[in-house]
A and B are shown apart, each in its own frame.
Chain A
């Protein structure tokens, strides 16, 4: 019996090539989108799962009570690390780290600036990254040791057999290689090129050594912990929550200690009221929904095309019933057919995904592949395919099998007409989804454009950043003089943060008008002379630093900071910061140093006479950037011989801030285009069918004198109506969802009616283009032929 069904299905496919192609390609497109999104979603969920102790690893965070508002910080003190390690039997290991920083690694003539972490000695026992050389127990014991990743080892030594060889770090100390890790996969939350024992930091940097004996609240480090197996966070949470409260220090007193599980690091990284409630997971959810929608659109095509063709199949149903088939056998037959078509479509979709993966990976910065060897993958996808076959095939199966044999064999049943109502609903559903995606794409792009056009408050063009180090810091004045003299550089300064970020946040101790017990926390940037001039920031009130000795006790704020401090007349007001009594001398206009979508961060600029970590300089206006950088490079090499010259353009960094939104915009654009393509493919098939069904009517009308354009209008207007209805349905839904999405941006567009009108217009044009081919073909056909065939 099955063989018979296969035969019928196959011959039907072969005999109706255009229809089959539309059906299979449409379904394959939908499945490819769904599969691609599923692979991507799976990749997002796979983060860190390769680590053996995945479920027991946590990062320590603090919920800081700032006048009733809960702010969540990752920076913690070494005292907290020691207390967690020593006082809680539930905690197996704790490791402190400086996070991720750039250091110079040198082996012989080879020098690189690479990102790495300085980590507590138990780090590798907790995060058991696959080790190629050395062992995790001893690798981080000796303060003067280093663990490299495979790529780093090969870059430095050309080999991974490098145990006991030495690497010179920051041109200061020699470290012995004690281990080599395999390269970290793309789905690892922590990314580093090498690990250095935290003990090295303590041995070589005085402030770290002091921090070890410091108090709770001296927050400058990150802490990871591993709970003993069998211990859950909920058991430990109440014990650690208040452990900092006893300290006489506002940072500690207002902090609650919490743990953030590793399984949430990647997807839940946005904190609200002390809970990691959202983050990237929102996009994962949105795209999961889009994947399902696109697949649904493709299934609707399948249903529509199959039921539209039911007239052709009705006779077969009648005969089969007349020669003894039961209804359920017919249902089974049609489901077999849809399963065959779905499987063919699945094979095509695998091909499409394989082709699309390269550009998709480039777009999203992932390294996704089809997991050909994974049994669960095939199990899940094939069940999904079967499920799709069931969804897409059940309506035609139940509908077709319901025909009364007497009626269909007599030809008295008008199948196409009776089914048209439900078909219309399906078309409207399909187009509503597509149009909503179009609207979404337009709004996302407009929001990105809106934020890009927002003046950043400083000039990001021709501005460069280079990380400083001890040699550069020592030689800063000579470097500066020579750079300015060379004519390549217009202006140069040093600061504790690059122009596109604020690394440090701190509390203001005292200011006029402070309420009892109030704390105000704001961004702090330590700067040297020429900072505002180099960045192109503008004075709103008072003056900027002039470089006089007294400036170390003067302060410059930005507008937002003044607003937060509630100062009406800010100039000359006394401020106490870091135990120093200082006064305000100037207010700068706001600049967007963090998010271009948010309000400007309240920021305080502190004048410093010490070297800072970042050199920021602007190229002279009329030089060729390429030759200027060559010149600059040779000057840097003179004052910083141990390191290669590296730099970043600030405008690149600034545009990087849009990367997530641009990615989302591109993805939704691609998926919207695919959704509309698949919908149109279905529409094309449907229009072909309708035109065929109305051949006689068109012939008669033509004989009676209808023009081609009248006939075109006749055949098109129904579809255009459906698309307009779809727009009316899609617009409020899209408006609601997008309004929700926009809420997370302080600086956002308002959605006007224009977007909806444009989307409607676009949808109608696309619809007309799709169906006009069929409509015109039917309209220009010779009526004699169509009437004779009756």
Chain B
């Protein structure tokens, strides 16, 4: 599904290149559930951002669903991104001024879905996630676990092929974390969503089908479960 070849990401600091990712190559197939691990500063989030097209690599080739991403213009990249990718954040990143319903609906608006269609899709996902009763609340009125649930619902609303999650349970207690992980596993197995998550927790990593360990911007090890 996606292929990174010789990807580097660096910042120039007083003439010296400070590498975050260093000549990294990675292939991920459709249907995989990959957990990326590694110490702070090893480049996990940078890798995820590049995969998610929020950030561009300094060097290297990036192919996604048959497209050479490194050659695309912003508009095409945005179109590709909207069609295929959903993003879940550690800090949830819901829009404070919008209700649960409106937060989930927003990606559909950007993808030009018709009003009636949006309504049906949002109702469907609210139902699936069991948060129908919360649809008119604002993010500040929800617990962390509930907010992350909304965050995931929002990421999944447009039926992406690839779900990217940057420490999705980092701000949650262990019980809430487990629920989220169960949800991920279900999405991966039943709906066939490809998932890439960044995590610090061994336990959460083991929900995946492959664990990749990063160190100093390079893949240290890759383990199929």
Interface residues in chain A, defined as those with a beta carbon under 8 Å from any beta carbon in chain B = 1, 4, 7-8, 11-12, 15, 315-316, 318-327, 329, 404-406, 409-410
**A15-B97, A324-B110, A409-B93 provided; 14 other pairs, C-beta below 8 A?**
A4-B105, A7-B98, A11-B98, A12-B97, A319-B94, A319-B95, A321-B54, A324-B78, A326-B74, A326-B75, A326-B78, A406-B55, A409-B89, A409-B91
B109 within 8 A of A: yes
Determine the distance from Cα of A12 to Cα of B111 in the docked complex, in whole angstroms.
Answer: 24
Beta-carbon contact of B87 and A322 below 8 Å: yes
Determine the distance from Cα of A322 to Cα of B88 in the docked complex, in whole angstroms.
Answer: 9
Beta-carbon contact of B93 and A322 below 8 Å: yes
B49 within 8 A of A: yes
User: Which chain B residues border A12 with CB–CB below 8 Å?
Assistant: 97
A sample of 7 cross-chain residue pairs with beta-carbon separation below 8 angstroms, ordered by A number, consists of A1-B109, A4-B105, A319-B94, A323-B110, A324-B110, A406-B55, A409-B93
- With A4-B102, A324-B81 as contacts: A319 and B55 at CB distance below 8 Å: no
B70 within 8 A of A: no
Closest beta carbon of chain A to B55's beta carbon, Å: 5
B159 within 8 A of A: no
Q: Which of B98, B102, B110 has the most CB of A within 10 A?
A: B110
User: Which chain A residues border B106 with CB–CB below 8 Å?
Assistant: 4, 320, 323
B144 within 8 A of A: no
Closest beta carbon of chain A to B37's beta carbon, Å: 19
Contact partner, A315, options B74, B93, B98, B102, Cβ 8 Å: B93
- With A326-B75, A406-B55 as contacts: A320 and B81 at CB distance below 8 Å: no
Beta-carbon contact of A323 and B154 below 8 Å: yes
User: Which chain A residues border B87 with CB–CB below 8 Å?
Assistant: 322-323
Beta-carbon contact of B95 and A406 below 8 Å: no
Q: Which residue of B lies closest to A322 (CB)?
A: B87
Contact partner, B93, options A15, A318, A327, A404, Cβ 8 Å: A318
Determine the distance from Cα of A530 to Cα of B49 in the docked complex, in whole angstroms.
Answer: 101
What are the 6 tightest A-B residue pairs by CB atom distance, in nearest-first order? A324-B82, A324-B110, A11-B97, A323-B107, A319-B93, A1-B109
Closest beta carbon of chain B to A629's beta carbon, Å: 72
Closest beta carbon of chain A to B45's beta carbon, Å: 8
Q: Mark B53-94, 1 if CB is under 8 A from A, else 0.
A: 011000000000000000000110010011000010101011
Q: Is the interface of A mostly helix, strand, loop or mixed?
A: helix
Q: Which residue of A lies closest to B93 (CB)?
A: A319
Q: Which of A321, A324, A404 has the most CB of B within 10 A?
A: A324
Closest beta carbon of chain B to A775's beta carbon, Å: 29
User: Which chain B residues border A321 with CB–CB below 8 Å?
Assistant: 54
Contact partner, B110, options A7, A325, A405, Cβ 8 Å: A325
Q: 8 Å CB contacts to A: which residues of B147-188?
A: 154-155, 158
Q: Which of B55, B93, B94 has the most CB of A within 10 A?
A: B93
Determine the distance from Cα of A324 to Cα of B74 in the docked complex, in whole angstroms.
Answer: 12
Closest beta carbon of chain B to A776's beta carbon, Å: 30
User: Which chain B residues border A315 with CB–CB below 8 Å?
Assistant: 93
User: Which chain B residues border A11 with CB–CB below 8 Å?
Assistant: 97-98
Closest beta carbon of chain B to A14's beta carbon, Å: 9
User: Which chain A residues border B110 with CB–CB below 8 Å?
Assistant: 1, 320, 323-326, 329
Determine the distance from Cα of A321 to Cα of B81 in the docked complex, in whole angstroms.
Answer: 11
Closest beta carbon of chain A to B113's beta carbon, Å: 10
Beta-carbon contact of A7 and B102 below 8 Å: yes
Closest beta carbon of chain A to B159's beta carbon, Å: 13
Beta-carbon contact of A406 and B107 below 8 Å: no
User: Which chain A residues border B82 with CB–CB below 8 Å?
Assistant: 324
Determine the distance from Cα of A319 to Cα of B92 in the docked complex, in whole angstroms.
Answer: 9
Closest beta carbon of chain A to B204's beta carbon, Å: 21
Closest beta carbon of chain A to B74's beta carbon, Å: 8
Determine the distance from Cα of A406 to Cα of B87 in the docked complex, in whole angstroms.
Answer: 12
Determine the distance from Cα of A519 to Cα of B183 in the docked complex, in whole angstroms.
Answer: 107
Determine the distance from Cα of A12 to Cα of B98 in the docked complex, in whole angstroms.
Answer: 10
Beta-carbon contact of B109 and A406 below 8 Å: no
Determine the distance from Cα of A319 to Cα of B155 in the docked complex, in whole angstroms.
Answer: 11
Determine the distance from Cα of A324 to Cα of B157 in the docked complex, in whole angstroms.
Answer: 12
Closest beta carbon of chain B to A334's beta carbon, Å: 14
Contact partner, A324, options B89, B91, B107, Cβ 8 Å: B107
User: Which chain A residues border B93 with CB–CB below 8 Å?
Assistant: 315, 318-319, 322, 409
Determine the distance from Cα of A1 to Cα of B118 in the docked complex, in whole angstroms.
Answer: 11
